[in-house]
Structures are given as structure tokens and as C-alpha cells.
Chains A and B, each alone.
Chain A
Amino acid sequence: QQQVKQSPQSLIVQKGGISIINCAYENTAFDYFPWYQQFPGKGPALLIAIRPDVSEKKEGRFTISFNKSAKQFSLHIMDSQPGDSATYFCAASIISGGYQKVTFGTGTKLQVIP
């Protein structure tokens, strides 16, 4: 079963608008929640991440909101730009013994139109 559910599957936002991607997880053993950004033909790259003891993390235009009791988290991209057009993956991972086992969401293809 899909342990990390992500929505929407695709998103079109006007330049300058706010892009919002939502994720939900089931396994309470997850202890780290990264977001990865993937451009066409490239590998995913870490964008921003949060630990479950924090409710919000902001880095520039990117903010993660985390609701531990609801087992939900979301990515907000403020002032979205055409260069943000990419596929975004939320993820949940378990960190143990020096390595990280990551379970990815299904991805959201974001298109920011001028």
C-alpha cells in the first residue's frame, strides 16, 4: 500500500502565486520528512526537510507545515516562478544506523505559467 499519499498529481499556478502540495503518512515510525525537487532528465535533489518535533520550517520561498497529530505535512511555494516548474516529491523516512530509508510520495508535477 502507498505509505505516503501526495496530492495533487499536477498543479498549474500563475507566476507570483502560491503553490501548495499536500502529503499524508501512516507509519508513525517515520522520523524525517524531506521534500525533493526533480527537473526533467535529472535526479531528484533535496529541497527542504523537517523533523516531526517542528511544526513549520521556512527556507526562502519554500515552507513546510507539519501536523504530527493529523499525520499530514505540506509544501508551500510562495511567489512561484517559472523556474520552479518541476516534479515535487514529499517523502518520509526512517533514519537508523547511519542510513536513511526513504519512502516517496507519488509526486506532483508543478507548472508555473508566466
Chain B
Amino acid sequence: DTAVSQTPKYLVTQMGNDKSIKCEQNLGHDTMYWYKQDSKKFLKIMFSYNNKELIINETVPNRFSPKSPDKAHLNLHINSLELGDSAVYFCASSGRDPGQIYEQYFGPGTRLTVT
């Protein structure tokens, strides 16, 4: 079973559209994250939710809105897509127990291409 899954794996869309990326983890973790990896492979945190509560909100355009319906799911909705949003988006999760906090488990990524 996949620990952290994302859908879709690829997303090609036009400028101005609205799209969503879904993430699910079956590890029983309390905390989930969204990262953006740009074309130069730079990996930067965007958001983090802990038990459905937003705890990290980096400087991200407000066109990006995360939503956590429950602690196993963290979705990312992007409005009015721009060319610069093209990147690979990774979801990750980590546990709360002392041994679990230290490792973040990443999903396979969603490659978003805006044309």
C-alpha cells in the first residue's frame, strides 16, 4: 500500500484555470505538508496542517488554498493558474510521536504544467 499518495500525477492546464491536487496518507500521521519543487529542483515548503489546523503558511500567493477535510487528507486548490506555477508539487506527512516527528514521508509528486 502506498503510504502517501497524490492525484493526479500529471496535470496540464491553461493559464487562468483553477485546479486541485489531492493528497492522502495512510500512515496515521497528524501532520501533512505541501512543498513546491521548481525547475531547478529547489524544494520549498508552502503549507502544513496539524490535525486539520493550519500551522505553517509560507509566503505563497493567496491563489493557493490548502484544505484538510480530515487528518489523512490535504488538498491543494490553485486559482487563476499562472505560467510560474508550473512545478512539481509534493505532499508529505509526519507523525507526532517523538520517533515519528523526525521523518517526513513524501508522496510521488504532481507535475503541474501551465501553458
Contacts and interface: CB of A to CB of B under 8 A. Distances in A.
> A and B, one complex?
yes
A104 interface: yes
B106 A43 contact: yes
A11 interface: no
B106 A44 contact: yes
Interface stretch (A52-60, A64-72, A73-81, A92-100): A92-100
Contacts, number: 65
Nearest to A98: B96
B1 to A, nearest CB: 16
Contact of A43 (B40, B44, B56, B92): B92
A102 interface: yes
Interface string A23-53: 0000000001010001001111110010000
Nearest to B108: A43
Contact of A46 (B31, B103, B109): B103
Contact of B40 (A34, A97, A106): A106
Interface residues of A, number: 24
A27 B48 CA distance: 21
A87 B43 CA distance: 12
A107 to B, nearest CB: 5
A98 B93 CA distance: 12
A41 B106 CA distance: 12
Interface in B22-65: 30-31, 40-45, 48, 50, 55-56
Nearest to A49: B102
Contacts of B109: 41-43
Interface of A: 32, 34, 38, 41-46, 49, 87, 89, 95, 97-104, 106-107, 109
